[in-house]
Amino acid sequence: MCFSQVVWSLLLAVLLGGALTQVGCLDFNFSTFKKEDEHNLIITEGTTILLNAIQVTPDVANDPITNYSGRIFYSKPFRLWSKSKKITASFNTTFDLKITPDLSPKQSPVGEGMAFILAADTTLPQKSEGQWLGIVNASTNGSHQAKIVAVEFDTRKSYKEDIDDNHVGLDVNSIHSIEQVSLTKYGIKLNETYLYGAIKVRVQYDGKVMNVSAKTNKTSEYKLIFSLPLELSSYLPEKVFVGFSASTGNAIQTNCLKTWEFHSSHIDDEELEMLWALDYLHDGCEKRVLHRDIKASNIMLDSEFNAKLGDFGLARTLQQSENTHHTTKVIAGTLGYMAPETFLTGRATVETDVYAFGVLVLEVASGRKPGNQNGQSDYNNNIVHWLWDLHRQERILDAIDSRLT
């Protein structure tokens, strides 16, 4: 890593904290679930972590477990697609589901099912138990507002459209599947997964096609259940939560998630791209270029809202011979963005560009102008000093623009 990249990374990590990194790629691997994993999950009431697994609907001995629905999500959303970049992320996920029917002498009928879900909203819809699998309810079913895509594992034929009581389906904003495949022909019975540990499922998405494969521990290879073209960006917002839902009705079962692994590709944020642009000027070019006037008004957005660094009016190319010093000697720039040493040395350097970029990052993160913060035209009141003051008072998070959170 060259010097400037280190500075960029530090600036972003320290000053922006979660603001930029909150939404990005997700990469996690729960080989078991422990009580402390609750911090990384969003769990609805009644959903519990029990015996190293998640019971998405309650599993309470001797208590009725009829008519429940539940959801669990990973606590952070991920960037599924970017309108400005016209790209969609890819992801792979594998998980183990274990469904146990009523084993008491009563032997209530088995139902209803579980689902892997991608959703805009983590809230469990009211009255989403029974036939609705915690995915939608009677009023959100079939509506674009539902903003949910689900891979369902259905153990009950609750509609005449359901092919049987042992199928996988793909649901888009609806409980009415656009594709259904019975697991019976693969030798898998969802209602018997408790006998051999779990059904292992793999969902793969490359931005265009979704593949769902499954196996039990009796077979070594995953078998492709379906492969469907699917534009997730047509149904879901840019940031989505991933997780599971499940339900019981008059028919009951326990709906248990035993393991969950998730890996997604990364879609860069605009600010990061700016950073690579500057890094390129400094280190990627044959001739180093000092921009010397980095500021908000020199950042241009193209028609697709991609950030570009513009106005090279003050830029200086460093010749190979000068390269060892990386400086140029005419004072220039915009007050508020200029590093303090500029006034002493009169030199523009790679470091003064970095300083200006830092001020720009602060401007974006705090939503403030770089100049004085309290009306007095004093150098010591600029954004950098203002921030150091907050830091000293241990109030650094107050600097974040509320519009960003």
Query: What's the number of CA atoms in the CB half-sphere (13 Å) around residue 111?
Result: 22
Query: What's the number of CA atoms in the CB half-sphere (13 Å) around residue 309?
Result: 26
Q: What angle do CA 152, 116, 172 make, to 5 degrees?
A: 60
CA Rg value for the chain: 27
Tokens of 390: 């907050």
Which of 7-15, 87-95, 146-154, 376-384 is the region at the interface with ligand NAG (rule: CB under 6 A)? 87-95
Based on the shown chain and the rule CB under 6 A, indicate whether residue 108 belongs to the binding site for ligand NAG: no
Which of 4-12, 33-41, 121-129, 297-305 is the region at the interface with ligand NAG (rule: CB under 6 A)? 121-129
- Considering only 265, 306, 317, 381, the residue that binds ligand NAG (CB under 6 A) is 265
Based on the shown chain and the rule CB under 6 A, indicate whether residue 211 belongs to the binding site for ligand NAG: yes
Helices 3-11 and 270-279: angle between axes, nearest 10 degrees: 160
For residue 314, which of 291, 339, 341 has the smallest C-alpha distance? 291
Based on the shown chain and the rule CB under 6 A, indicate whether residue 248 belongs to the binding site for ligand NAG: no
Residues 6+ apart with CB under 8 A from 166: 154, 155, 182, 183, 184, 188, 189, 190, 191
Size of the site for ligand NAG (CB under 6 A): 45
- Minimum distance of ligand NAG from residue 306's CB (angstroms): 23
Give the contact letters, 133-152, x = binds to ligand NAG (CB under 6 A), - = no.
----xxxxxx----------
The C-alpha atoms of residue 146 and residue 62 are separated, in whole angstroms, by 35
Based on the shown chain and the rule CB under 6 A, indicate whether residue 126 belongs to the binding site for ligand NAG: yes
- Considering only 197, 284, 340, 367, the residue that binds ligand NAG (CB under 6 A) is 197
Which of 161-169, 296-304, 319-327, 350-358 is the region at the interface with ligand NAG (rule: CB under 6 A)? 161-169
Among candidate residues 293, 302, 353, 378, the one labeled active-site is: 293
Based on the shown chain and the rule CB under 6 A, indicate whether residue 75 belongs to the binding site for ligand NAG: no
Q: What angle do CA 213, 216, 220 make, to 5 degrees?
A: 80
The C-alpha atoms of residue 251 and residue 131 are separated, in whole angstroms, by 10
Tokens of 128: 């989403």
Which one, 21 or 191, has the nearer CB to ligand NAG? 191
Q: Return the SS3 of 353.
A: helix
- Considering only 154, 162, 165, 293, the residue that binds ligand NAG (CB under 6 A) is 165
Which one, 115 or 350, has the nearer CB to ligand NAG? 115
The C-alpha atoms of residue 190 and residue 387 are separated, in whole angstroms, by 57
293 in catalytic set: yes
**Residues counted in the chain:** 405
Which one, 40 or 250, has the nearer CB to ligand NAG? 250
Q: How many CB atoms lie within 10 A of CB 355?
A: 21
| Active site amino acids | 293
Which residue ranges make up the site for ligand NAG (CB under 6 A)? 29, 31, 66-67, 90-92, 101, 110, 125-127, 130, 137-142, 164-166, 174-176, 184, 189, 191, 196-197, 204-206, 209, 211, 217-218, 224, 227, 249-250, 261, 263-265
